[in-house]
Amino acid sequence: MKKALVFFLVAATILGVSWFSRMDSGEQISTEQTIHFVEDERFPIVRPLEPVTGLSSKAVALGKRLFFDTRLSSNNTISCASCHRFDLGGADGMAVSIGVNGALGDINAPTVFNSGLHFAQFWDARAPTLTEQIEGPIHNPVEMNSSWQEIIQRLSSDNVLVAEFNAAYQDGLTVNNLINAIATFEQSLVTLDAPFDHYLRGDKSALTAEQVLGFQNFHDYGCTSCHQGMLLGGNTLQKLGIIEDYFAGREITSADLGRYNVTGREEDKHVFKVPSLRNVALTAPYLHDGSAQTLEAAVAIMARYQLGRDIPTEDLQSIVAFLQSLSGKIPEIGATP
């Protein structure tokens, strides 16, 4: 029985079948589609990143102000931007983040860039939308340790901000409108025009020869079984340690349990949202525990524990070169309060 299970998992990984069903499309991905994708756009196992349209410019502007506003934290020291820095790819460059009064979080902060395109938020996918995600850090005692009542009380004394809310929303400054503004701003943070996007749209000179080879190796080793779609991830759940136990010999933390913390189901232990690889070259360290300091280390870990492979150095370096082509244009911060 155990051997049969291992065989199934290896086959599923090689053929591009996710541990969970694909979230952004009901179609199945075959090996043939993967091989022919570069020449045939009917098989969008990976797709160019598209701009987000239809967002309220007033809500985006308000959300931007709030994203950088430390008044959202209990001691006026932490803003959303503290853990999602624009100069670090929308993350913070740390294994775990620092919250109010120097408190340490228990899991690696994911990038905020392109987050509105994910099928769910947080490593354990507990929040279906950005509006629900925002509740987490606001109330978490090791992050902002605040409350909406406290925040509304503080912001209500800011006449300029209140006037902007009155102009943007019929009912002005409310908790729901605060949340909507922040979520709308985060939806706007799409990193367009990565070299890989230009390549997918037909500009074959957008990638170096090594990056093209890395793209092919990325397919051939089975990475697209989890990292596909517009974000090359962010649309499925997957167990960490399919082939080999990633958590063997270590003390298991609550964060290590992943999706199990949401469902309580044994089969969901160590299951996480597959991270997007967009801008991944900018967001070290990697994995939910921040244990991989470099892209090379992260790729080698994934190959070992998810694919049961030791990737030769030359192939690994080409894959890393390909991943570097996924860095798009960082949204401009501009003037902030």
Residues with catalytic function: 143
What is the C-alpha separation between 325 and 205, in angstroms, rounded?
A: 12
Bridge partner list, 121: 127
Helix (H/G/I), strand (E/B), else coil: 141: coil
Q: How many residues does the chain have?
A: 337
Q: In angstroms, rounded to a whole number, what is the distance separating the alpha carbons of residues 335 and 237?
A: 37
Q: Tell me which H or E stretch contains 114.
A: none
β-pairing, 271-273 vs 237-239, is antiparallel
123-137 in b/e burial notation, b at 16+ Cβ within 10 A? bbbbbeebbebbeeb
* Residue tagged 């995600």 (tokens): 133
User: What's the sign of the alpha-carbon dihedral 208, 211, 216, 219?
Assistant: negative
**Tokens at residue 181, please?**
């503004």
Residue 124 is classified by DSSP as T
Burial class of 223 by CB neighbour count within 10 A (0 to 12, 13 to 18, 19+): buried
Q: Among candidates 170, 176, 99, 202, which has minimal Cα distance to 141?
A: 99
Specify the DSSP class assigned to residue 298. H
Q: Which tokens hold the place of 27?
A: 């179609």
